[in-house]
Amino acid sequence: MKVLFVASEADGLVKSGGLADVARALPVELIKDNVDVKLLIPCYRPLIAQDYPVVADSVSVQVNMWDKFGCRFRKTELDGLTVYLLEHNVYFDREGMYDDGNQAYEDNGLRYALLCQAAFSLCETLDWFPDVFHCNDWQTALLPFYLREHRQFDARFNQAKTVLTIHNGAYQGYVPKHYLTNMGIHERFFTDAVFESYDQINLMKGGLIFSDHVNAVSPGYKDELLADETSHGLGYFFRSIQDKFSGIINGCDYGQWNPEVDHALPANYSAEDLSGKTTCKTALQQEMGLPINPDIPLLGNISRLVDQKGYNLLIPAMRELLSQQDVQIIVLGSGDPVITADLHSLQHQFPDKFAFYKGYSVDLSHRIEAGSDIYLMPSIFEPCGLNQIYSLRYGTLPVIRKTGGLKDTVKSLALNSSNWKTATGFGFEEQTPEACLKAMKQALKVYLEKPERFKHMQLTAMAKDFSWETAVKPYLKLYKELTD
């Protein structure tokens, strides 16, 4: 079985969110199951600076009938996985991956069209032709279209199957329609049944139509994509492809996320001996400039600062909690300027209780996972979510909104606590700050008043196994079904 994984980011090289974690961990796991898998991502500015070895120079990639783009392939490795980097400096030597910090690049359609077409050029360069092209999100959603429309008479490719994994259905890749021809999409495909949405090109829609299989990254999110209210406007579209649509929960890369061996931590710990977690907590308090006291409950949150993550619920709930109780809260994130300003204002209001680190820091994210007692994840929607899974392994009980993958991975404590022996976190449903605050208080009550019970829940959480070793199985089965 040969699989080319094509993605727009990969952990260890360039990362903005969970897609990067999956683009690394899933292929690495597939290798262990004897799949011949390679990964292709763009060579963005920070990667150009690394000067990875060139495997092919002056490769001509054709995107439409006329235009050929001179590209280069470089190569590197992640945990034994060969990663090819597509170098085209006009398109990828830029400040950001998808935007300039404020606005999406206007030519994103062309940039990722090039990535999709380059996937075929890479195969030609390597003389290696996959059974499956595994695409991820809108950035690579054009590949199945190109395979069926541009490569239908090419015997090296036309037996290959395509899988499109939806990591986040809210980002659909809207492109102005005047790019149609330049992207090699004939006007006849610019209809509501294929690429058109609101008079623009919607890349994800085309991907849904042309892929041989589509999967969401959790069964819960799959169900949400099939329902009108929670499908980001594409419910009718997802329902129309139901027979090739599934939900497969992500795994967790315990090679990166394991408190027993995590190098980013000041102390390691395990379910057998949690004492290192207290060291992590006090070190984190010190690092973030908060009073050092292991007895004060510490709540953590790490995220892209976007509306999806529920800051409209969390910020008022945190303000209320901070004014009422002796707690500490740490937030690590970057993104939306309005959310950023609100978090700065909380920090000014509660300097001894609230710390906000604006930015992106993988090491600090590990230390927050380890040093906090409770993790906050009140997302409005969550395709799978990884931080709650990391939190479980780090014994940091998550407070979640019961949606998508959060609901699938965290077992919330009942209001009457009847299920405390099996629960792994705290949940709420209603999209209100009050409901969010209530769940946070429920967590704090157990932490403060029933420490033995809290510890039992920590141990239950730490024993949960979301390893890729298990999570990879449905993908293996899917590849086999598609290619048999």
Binding site for ligand ADP (CB under 6 A): 17-19, 21, 168, 302-304, 332-334, 360-362, 365, 384-387
Rounded to the nearest whole angstrom, what is the least distance from the CB of residue 256 to ligand ADP in the complex? 9
Q: Which residue is nearest to ligand ADP (CB)?
A: 18
Instruction: Please give the C-alpha separations between residue 422 and each of 236, 354, 412, 428, 456, in angstroms, as whole numbers.
Output: 37, 31, 9, 17, 9
Please report how close the Cβ of residue 163 comes to ligand ADP at its closest, in angstroms.
19
Which residue lies nearer to ligand ADP by CB, 82 or 334? 334
Note whether 339 and 308 are within 8 A (CB): no
Instruction: Determine the longest span between alpha carbons in the chain, in angstroms.
Output: 70
Q: How far is the CB of 140 from ligand ADP (least distance, A)?
A: 16
Shortest distance (Å) from residue 18 CB to ligand ADP: 2
- Which residue, 169 or 184, is less far from ligand ADP as judged by CB? 169
156/344 with CB nearer ligand ADP: 344
Cβ 138 to ligand ADP shortest distance, Å? 14
Which CB sits closer to ligand ADP, 12 or 207? 12
Nearer to ligand ADP, 71 or 302 (CB): 302
- Whole-angstrom Cα Rg for the chain: 23
Q: Which is nearer to ligand ADP, 168 or 202 (CB)?
A: 168
Q: Provide the minimum distance between the beta carbon of 383 and ligand ADP in the complex, in angstroms, as a whole number.
A: 7
* Nearest distance, CB of residue 358 and ligand ADP, angstroms: 8
Q: Which is nearer to ligand ADP, 129 or 360 (CB)?
A: 360
Smallest CA-to-CA distance from 24 within 75, 83, 85, 92 is with 83
**Are 436 and 314 within 8 A, CB to CB?**
yes
Residue 68 vs 344, nearer CB to ligand ADP: 344
Q: How far is the CB of 131 from ligand ADP (least distance, A)?
A: 28
